[in-house]
Amino acid sequence: MKKFSFRLDPEGFARIPVILRSGDTLIVLRGLIDTGADTIYLDRHISEFLKLQPLRVEEVGVAGGILNASVIVIDSVAVASQNFQKRLIMSAVNALAVDNLGEEIVIGIKFFEKCILSFNFVRKVLVIEGNWEKD
């Protein structure tokens, strides 16, 4: 298992490069790691840009209350090392598309089930240890 470190932003949040693939389309986003979230949340505008078809609509509880979210499947989601040389990749990822997310994408803890995440709030660093694949 390899480790990569990411600096937390000035507010203490972990935002890291995320690569989404849908068909032949690849986009790079700045994703928020949210250990309080289970799943991946994607802003609906990005879901529409990727032409991801909603499977169904569900009510989901979030910190701000209840939202209507479209269940979608993203061909692949990859968290990239800062130099983009290594990636943690998952294929056929279920996610929830929501309006006005406030972030491009939020990566919940299920994405990291096979990883070790550690936060050092003194040094303002997130360390992800996992099976990083060479690009």
Which domains are delineated in the chain? 13-116 (2.40.70.10)
As a whole number of angstroms, the distance between CA 20 and CA 36 comes to 22
Selection from 67, 133, 53 nearest residue 98 by Cα: 67
Task: From first to last of the 135 residues of the chain, give the pLDDT tens digit.
Answer: 788 889 999 988 999 999 999 999 999 999 999 998 999 999 999 999 999 999 999 998 877 788 899 999 999 999 988 777 788 899 999 999 999 888 999 999 999 998 999 998 889 999 999 887 765
Q: What is the pLDDT of residue 135?
A: 55
As a whole number of angstroms, the distance between CA 52 and CA 19 comes to 15
Mean pLDDT (the chain) is 91
- The structure tokens listed for 131 are 């099976």
Measured distance between the N- and C-terminal CA atoms of the chain, rounded to whole angstroms: 16
If you write DSSP's letter for every residue of 23-79 in order, what string do you get? TTEEEEEEEEEETT-SSEEEEHHHHHHTTPPP-EEEEEEETTEEEEEEEEEEEEEEE
Task: Give the model confidence (pLDDT) of 60-88 as tens digits.
Answer: 887 778 889 999 999 999 998 877 778 88
The strand pairing partners of 72, in sequence order, are 95
Beta-carbon contacts of residue 119 (< 8 Å; ≥ 6 apart): 8, 14, 125, 126, 127
